[in-house]
Chain A
Amino acid sequence: MSTQTVPLRGITRPQFSRREFLKGTGILVGTLWASSTALITLAPSRVWALELKVLDERTGNALLVFTRQIFPHAKLDDAVYALVVKDLDAEAAGSAEVKKLLTEGAAGLDKAAGGDFKAAAKEKQSEITASLAKTPFFEKVRSKAIVSLYNNELAFAHFGYEGNAFQRGGGYLQRGFNDLKWLPAPSAKASPAAFTG
């Protein structure tokens, strides 16, 4: 079986060009945290960039921080949250209504933070996020994030989910399906030995 490249869904090496700026859309840039060891082995480089189709950079950054507030994983790298922004941006590209909702929502975050949501204190971000619960803007971001944030190879690596066994060339029969050692093994009657012939 051939090995497949792990898809990173748009996380690329930064490739700045004038085009992004001419279009007036944004590009999110970051550096994988030194602690994100599982991600560093998967990503093409430590520095990552994500080009947005219709949302501007300020909106993109506000959405990223807002998503982190909704689903706060202290040790989860910004690069994974950026994938949620990417999917929100893709939806906004197909719907003027969604674009408006996200752009205005992000502007509202900045306004509530007294100018810059991203730069506000964590407590302030948290307070603003909670005050928006159940609003259409919040629900749009939450419902996108609940899928996007946990449905990509970077998240799988971070959370320790090995996922697609078939793609790796065989089932967990040969790779630890019953390797738990901190409890006694069940009786052979309850759990017969595996057939490996």
Chain B
Amino acid sequence: MTTYSQGDDSVVVVIGSGAGGGTLANELCKQGVKIVLLEAGKRESPATFINDEWASFGQLAWLDKRTTSGSWRVAKDFSGLPAWICKTVGGTTTHWAGASLRIHDHEFRARTVYGEIKGANLLDWPLTLKELAPYYSRAEDKMGVTRTHDVAGLPGNNNFKVFYNGAVKVGYKNCNTGHMAINSRPRADRASCQQYGFCFQGCKSGAKWSTLYTEIPAAENTGKLELRTECHVARIEHDDNGKVTGVVYFDKDKKEQRQKARVVCVAGNSIETPRLLLMSTSGKFPDGLANSSGQVGRNYQRHTTGSMYATFNEPVHMYRGTTMAGIVTDEAVNNPKRGFVGGYELETLSLGLPFMAAFLDPGAWGPQFTEAMDNYVNMAGLWIVGEDMPQASNRVTLNPTEKDQWGLPVPNVHYDDHPNDIALRNHAYKQARAIYEAVGAKKTYEVPPYPSTHNLGTCRMSAKPSDGVCNKWGQTHDIKNLFISDGSQFTTGAAENPTLTIVTLAIRQAEYIGMQMKVQTI
């Protein structure tokens, strides 16, 4: 195993081993760059994953203390759990469902296409779909995305059959088993999908792409990676010139450690990334690192979500097979005639009995609730993923009083739905209900948003330094050798599940960092 000394200031430190950090680390290692990868969680494997919802949640989820505020329903239902993301090697790529969709051309130009929307802090991305397309293609190949690179689509399960028949009946033209980073055939030393039905709990067969068993071992094989697990970064340090010089972290024995670095890349997901920058205050940067714009932590986006479950007279057994088994893309367009800008995807989703009880209607009790549960076997379900409006006041801040186990201020996540978000969600609920009623639903259940899995935008990229935190390579406007390498970079949220774009940006960022290191600009 490769190891680097803590005083080695020639290494690149990557914080977080998920879609962004894990991919970036591997791509840099392949170029011969020395990487110290710091991960707050432990290392699991397909062998240690647990096909049990609550037990797996305890194994993988990020459960450090967090607080919430704002009028979003998550703050009421799950006040200490704003996000359902992971603290483990591989990050949330252990938990994700695998949907791998490219952001649409118009979504990269949200401000231009949608126009001025009151209360929304819309901005065009500083890059285009055309610029990203070759990197998207590399990401799809790397991840083995179905229906790209001659990878066959996955077979649809029972939940998909209900969804598909309903979608066709209401007139949707684009419904299939989607673009999934789940092997439909053995590929890239990974097995094919066995339809375990526990995609959210870590894939036991390794058919679903995760950095845990792809990028990270590949990086280790280069001899350039040192992965340090159970290391929680508390602060990024800088010199008098305002360049970052290393990080301070707590190791698994809770001891404070300091790692020097030539470059620091932050990929802690969209809550921890801004939190770390905000905690790294100094005389030179009293508002935190890379925050001259004041945008660090702002524009927190989580997608406009919601679910629809429906019960039928006949069995469905929706939990059998891939958690997200199919998609309708017809609504992922910008058609303001629907009463909102931006669009949404409809994707099948299933929950096991324990999580169905927890999420169907949090706080509910009594016969209406139990009637739904009595019909669990006859239930089908889908999830709404829509573009939410970035708002400056939706933000991650440091809680002034609450501290975590390290004595660090916990992040507070504030979110209010924008009127556009509410209009979009209501439209999606109506369409989802129509899909299920078209195939004979007895009852339909509008299910409120789960804790956020898509956390985006809190260190957004912008053409102008005054509008955002980083440039189109994720390099912070203020500090040349500090990079944002996760979904925090997203200028706007678009309507697509974000992982593919996070991986795409990481591949592109690795090229840029490698080049800049060669020419000694960083």
Q: How far is the CB of B152 from chain A (nearest CB, A)?
A: 5
- Restricting to A167-197, which residues have a CB under 8 Å from any CB of B? 167, 170-173, 175-180, 182-186, 189-195
**Complex-state Cα separation, A117 to B161, whole angstroms:** 47
Contact, CB under 8 Å: A167 / B358: no
In whole angstroms, how far apart are the Cα atoms of A176 and B317 in the complex? 9
Binds B, one of A15-23, A46-54, A57-65, A152-160: A152-160
Select one of B161, B184, B185 contacting A178, CB under 8 A. B161
A151–B53 Cα distance when bound, in Å, is 9
Which residues of A (130-164) have their CB < 8 Å from a CB of B?
Answer: 133, 142, 146-147, 149-151, 155-156, 159-164
Residues of A within 8 A of B374 (CB): 73, 75, 159
The reply on B400 being an interface residue by CB < 8 A is no
Checking B177, B205, B314, B439 against A190 with a beta-carbon cut-off of 8 angstroms, the contacting residue is: B177
| Given known contacts A150-B357, A164-B51, A195-B192, A183 and B439 CB-to-CB distance under 8 angstroms | yes
The reply to whether A171 and B373 contact each other, CB–CB distance below 8 Å, is no
What secondary structure prevails in chain A residues at the interface with B?
Answer: loop
Chain B residues with CB under 8 A of A72: 366-367, 370
Closest to A168 in B: B51
Q: How far is the CA of A13 from the CA of B106 in the complex (A)?
A: 65
Question: B365 near A171 (CB under 8 angstroms)?
Answer: no
The residues of A that contact B51 with a CB separation of less than 8 Å are 163-167
Query: Which residue from B156, B194, B197, B315 sits with its C-beta under 8 Å from A186?
Result: B156
B188 at the interface (CB under 8 A from A): no
From A178, A190, A194, give the contact of B176 (CB < 8 A).
A190
- Evaluate contact between A191 and B196: CB separation under 8 angstroms: no
In the assembled complex, the Cα of A52 lies from the Cα of B267 at a distance in Å of 47
Are A183 and B165 closer than 8 Å at their CB atoms?
A: yes
Do A178 and B158 touch across chains, with their CB atoms under 8 A apart?
yes
Nearest CB in chain B to that of A156: its residue = B353
- B233 at the A interface (CB under 8 A): no
Q: Which residues B30-89 have CB closer than 8 A to chain A?
A: 51-54
B164 touches A195 (CB 8 A): no
- When the two chains form their complex, are residues A192 and B321 in contact, meaning their CB atoms are under 8 A apart? no
User: Once bound together, how far apart are the Cα atoms of A147 and B175, in whole Å?
Assistant: 35
A175 contacts which chain B residues (CB < 8 A)? Answer: 320
Set A147, A186, A192: member contacting B165, Cβ < 8 A: A186
Q: Say if the beta carbon of B195 comes within 8 Å of chain A.
A: yes
- Please report the C-alpha to C-alpha distance between residue A192 and residue B317 in the assembled complex, in whole angstroms: 20
The residue on A at minimum CB distance from B376 is A159
Nearest-Cβ distance from residue A66 to partner chain B, whole angstroms: 11
For the complex, what is the distance from the CA of A176 to the CA of B161, rounded to whole Å? 13
Q: How many angstroms from the CA of A149 to the CA of B373 in the assembled complex?
A: 11
Interface size on B, residues (CB 8 A): 54
Tell me, rounded to whole Å, the shortest Cβ–Cβ distance linking A77 to chain B: 14
Please measure, in the bound complex, the distance between the C-alpha atom of A170 and the C-alpha atom of B191, giving whole angstroms. 13
Bound together, the chains give a CA A75 to CA B375 distance in angstroms of: 12
Q: How far is the CB of A156 from chain B (nearest CB, A)?
A: 6
Query: Which residue among A146, A156, A167, A186 has the maximum number of chain B CB atoms within 10 Å of its CB?
Result: A186
Q: Is the CB of A162 within 8 A of B320?
A: yes
Q: How far is the CA of A25 from the CA of B162 in the complex (A)?
A: 51
User: Chain A: which residue is nearest B46 at the CB level?
Assistant: A166
What residue in chain B is nearest A152 (Cβ atoms)?
Answer: B354
Bound: A173/B367 CA distance, A: 35
Nearest residue (CB) in B for A75 is B374
Determine whether A43 belongs to the interface, using a CB cutoff of 8 Å to chain B. Answer: no
- Whether the pair A183, B376 counts as a contact (CB closer than 8 A) is no
A180 touches B54 (CB 8 A): no
B-contact 0/1 string along A68-108, CB 8 Å cutoff: 00111101000000000000000000000000000000000
Assess A166 versus B196: contact at CB under 8 Å? Given A73-B370, A176-B317.
yes
Find chain A residues with CB under 8 A from B164 CB: 186, 190-191
**Is B162 within 8 A of A183, CB to CB?**
yes
Nearest-Cβ distance from residue B62 to partner chain A, whole angstroms:
19
Q: Give min CB distance, A73 to chain B, whole Å.
A: 5
- The verdict on A195 contacting B184 (CB below 8 Å), with A165-B197, A179-B158 known, is yes
Q: A191–B153 contact, CB under 8 A?
A: yes
Which residues in chain B, 349-390, are within 8 Å of chain A measured between CB atoms?
352-354, 356-358, 365-367, 369-370, 373-374, 376-377
* CB atoms of A177 and B320 under 8 A apart: yes
On whether the beta carbons of B197 and A172 are closer than 8 Å, the reply is yes
Chain A residues near B316 (CB-CB < 8 A): 180
Query: With an 8 A cutoff between CB atoms, is B198 at the interface?
Result: yes
How far, in whole Å, are A192 and B193 apart by their CA atoms in the complex? Answer: 13
- What residues on B are CB-neighbors of A185 within 8 Å? 161
Task: Report Cα–Cα, A191/B180, bound state, in Å.
Answer: 13
B192 touches A177 (CB 8 A): no
Query: Whole-angstrom distance between the alpha carbons of A116 and B185 in the complex?
Result: 62
Residue of A whose beta carbon sits closest to that of B192: A195
Query: What residues of B have a CB within 8 angstroms of the CB of A167 in the complex?
Result: 51
Residues of B within 8 A of A180 (CB): 158, 161-162, 314-317
Give which listed residue, A73, A159, A166, A192, contacts B155 with CB less than 8 A: A192
Query: By the criterion CB–CB under 8 Å, are A172 and B357 in contact?
Result: no
User: Is the Cβ of A163 less than 8 Å from the Cβ of B320?
Assistant: no
Complex contact A163–B165 (CB within 8 A): no
Expressed in whole angstroms, the minimum distance between the Cβ of B359 and any Cβ of chain A is 10
Instruction: Output the least CB separation between B422 and chain A (Å).
Output: 26
A187 to B71, CA, bound (A): 43
Q: Are B353 and A155 in contact (CB under 8 A)?
A: yes
Q: Enumerate chain A residues within 8 angstroms of B315, measured Cβ to Cβ.
A: 160, 180
Please state if A150 and B365 are interface contacts (CB–CB under 8 Å): no
Q: Is the CB of B177 within 8 A of A191?
A: yes
Q: For residue A171, which residues in chain B have a CB less than 8 angstroms away from its CB?
A: 193-197, 205, 321
A150 to B53, CA, bound (A): 11
Tell me, yes or no, whether B204 is within 8 Å of chain A by CB. Answer: yes
Contact A149 B357 (CB under 8 A): yes
Beyond the given pairs A161-B353, A165-B196, A177-B197, 15 more chain A to chain B contacts, judged by CB atoms under 8 angstroms and listed by A's residue number, are A72-B370, A146-B357, A147-B358, A151-B53, A159-B373, A163-B319, A163-B353, A165-B197, A171-B193, A180-B162, A182-B314, A186-B160, A190-B176, A191-B153, A191-B156
Enumerate 29 A-B pairs (CB-CB under 8 Å) in ascending A order: A70-B366, A72-B367, A73-B370, A149-B357, A150-B356, A150-B357, A150-B373, A155-B353, A159-B374, A161-B353, A162-B319, A164-B52, A165-B196, A173-B195, A176-B158, A178-B156, A178-B161, A180-B158, A183-B161, A185-B161, A186-B160, A186-B165, A186-B176, A190-B176, A190-B177, A191-B155, A191-B326, A192-B154, A192-B177
Leading 8 A-B pairs by shortest Cβ distance: A171-B194, A191-B156, A177-B321, A172-B320, A150-B357, A194-B155, A161-B353, A160-B377
